[in-house]
DNA sequence: AGGTGGACCCGAACGC
DNA sequence: TGCGTTCGGGTCCACC
């Protein structure tokens, strides 16, 4: 599932082939992609425009054009973008759009479940659209411990639900939410408002760590899960039910938290707050 | 207002 | 083997 690390990987891969290029032809095969707009009309709006920058905000890919035009692409669950230097790839039942660049190469959009969206805006409209939906970039300066605390304080909702809210932090999805909570040693069902200050600080650091790890794996095949050279999952918690926790050996447990499959270590992610994450020998206490 | 649960999709995984 | 059923995931929206 494309979360921040996957979208960032796509951005890095496509920026060199897209920036400075003109869109010669845009073919939108699935009306859902630009709904409620008319596909032909949306395509015509993009044709002839030159890409000035390819940016990312949360899970959105932001295609900025030289004219006052911005295309916000959201891959949702199964969307993917691929460059085809030799022109359109072989027939694919899940191909939803093809953009032909002025160097004759194609950028292909495929999306099995058709949840993804392409939304053209002027620059101000795009900024407003993002501003009401997204909180700070997790890897930026604005994602401070006090900001995170301000988003958790006084709330009874499970902390996992709170960090999945894109206004709390932009770009976290189900996988990296579980990973971040594992790194921080925090139970996903803990009421958000009950986290102590040191815990929300640890959670902020853990969100960054989980996402940076994900960006580091960026080269691995998207959608196949993240596996190392030996074919072993790099993930610490997500999807690892029954396997021993890497920290303490306790089998990873599964629960449903606000409707999402959730994996965590029932021992080192305790339900109740602990004094410290640090594991000191008894003689030091 | 905050929290919850369903809708949107469709392939994969599962159950009989 | 083959069929029907369930699941999941991000976001929006209706409802409590």
A2 noted as active-site residue: yes
Q: Answer whether any strand B atom is within 7 A of the Cβ of A277.
A: no
The spacing between the Cα labelled CA in A180 and the C1' in C4, in angstroms, equals 38
- Bases of strand B lying below 7 A from some protein CB: 2-11
Question: Residue A230 has what pLDDT?
Answer: 58
- Per-residue pLDDT for A258 more than 90? no
What is the mean predicted confidence (pLDDT) over A192-207?
Answer: 95
Question: Residue A228 has what pLDDT?
Answer: 63
Instruction: Choose the weakest-confidence range: A54-58, A135-139, A227-231.
Output: A227-231
- What is chain A's mean pLDDT, rounded? 88
The 10s digit of each residue's pLDDT in A62-97 is 999 999 999 999 998 899 999 998 777 667 888 999
- pLDDT above 70 as % of chain A: 90
- Per-residue pLDDT for A168 more than 80? yes
Band of pLDDT at residue A27, cut at 50, 70 and 90: very high
Instruction: Choose the weakest-confidence range: A15-19, A96-100, A188-192, A233-237.
Output: A233-237
The 10s digit of each residue's pLDDT in A172-183 is 999 999 999 999
Question: Residue A222 has what pLDDT?
Answer: 44
A70/A52 Cα distance (integer angstroms): 10
Residue among A59, A110, A151, A204 flagged as catalytic: A59
What is the mean predicted confidence (pLDDT) over A219-236?
Answer: 61
> How would you classify residue A212: left for phi > 0, otherwise alpha for psi between -120 and 50, otherwise beta?
alpha
A37 noted as active-site residue: no
Band of pLDDT at residue A231, cut at 50, 70 and 90: low
Nucleotide nearest A170, CA–C1', reads C10
Nucleotide nearest A158, CA–C1', reads B3
- Per-residue pLDDT for A270 more than 70? yes
Residues 187-226 of A with CB under 7 A from strand B: 192
Instruction: Tell me the whole-structure pTM to 2 decimals.
Output: 0.91
- Give the per-residue SS3 of chain A: CCCHHHHHHHHHHHHHHHCCCEEEEEEECCHHHHCCCCHHHHHHHHCCCEEEEEEEECCEEEEEECCCCEEEEECCCCEEEEEECCCCCCCCCCEEEEEEECCCCEEEEEECCCCCEEEEECHHHHHHHHHHHCCCCCCCCCCCHHHHHHHHCCCCCEHHHHHHCCCCCCCCCHHHHHHHHHHHCCCCCCEHHHCCHHHHHHHHHHHHHHHHHHHHCCCCCCCCCCECCCCCECCCCCCCCCCECCCCCCECEEEEECCEEEEECCCCCCCCCCCCCCCCCHHHC
Residue A107 CA from chain centroid, whole number: 21
Question: Residue A281 has what pLDDT?
Answer: 37
A8 noted as active-site residue: no
Nucleotide nearest A157, CA–C1', reads B3
């Amino acid at each position: 599932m494309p979360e921040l690390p996957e979208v960032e990987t796509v951005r890095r891969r496509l920026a060199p082939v897209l920036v400075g290029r003109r869109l010669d032809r845009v073919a939108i095969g699935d009306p859902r992609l630009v709904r409620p707009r008319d596909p032909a009309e949306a395509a015509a709006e993009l044709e002839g425009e030159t890409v000035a920058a390819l940016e990312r905000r949360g899970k959105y890919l932001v295609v900025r054009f030289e004219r006052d035009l911005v295309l916000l692409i959201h891959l949702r669950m199964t969307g993917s973008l691929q460059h085809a230097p030799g022109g359109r790839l072989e027939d694919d039942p899940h191909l939803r759009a093809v953009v032909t660049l002025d160097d004759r190469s194609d950028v292909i959009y495929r999306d099995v479940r058709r949840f993804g969206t392409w939304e053209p805006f002027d620059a101000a409209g795009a900024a407003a659209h993002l501003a009401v939906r997204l909180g700070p970039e997790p890897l930026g300066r604005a994602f401070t411990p006090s900001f995170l605390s301000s988003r958790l304080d006084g709330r009874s909702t499970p902390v996992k639900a709170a960090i999945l809210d894109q206004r709390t932090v932009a770009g976290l999805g189900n996988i990296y939410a579980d990973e971040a909570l594992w790194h921080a040693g925090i139970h996903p069902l803990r009421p958000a408002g009950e986290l102590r200050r040191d815990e929300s600080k640890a959670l902020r650091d853990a969100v960054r760590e989980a996402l940076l790890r994900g960006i580091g794996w960026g080269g691995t095949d998207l959608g196949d899960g993240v596996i190392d050279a030996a074919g072993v999952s790099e993930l610490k918690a997500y999807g690892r039910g029954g396997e021993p926790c890497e920290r303490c050996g306790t089998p990873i447990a599964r629960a449903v938290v606000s409707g999402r499959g959730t994996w965590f270590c029932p021992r080192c992610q305790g339900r109740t707050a602990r004094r410290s994450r640090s594991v000191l020998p008894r003689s030091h206490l």
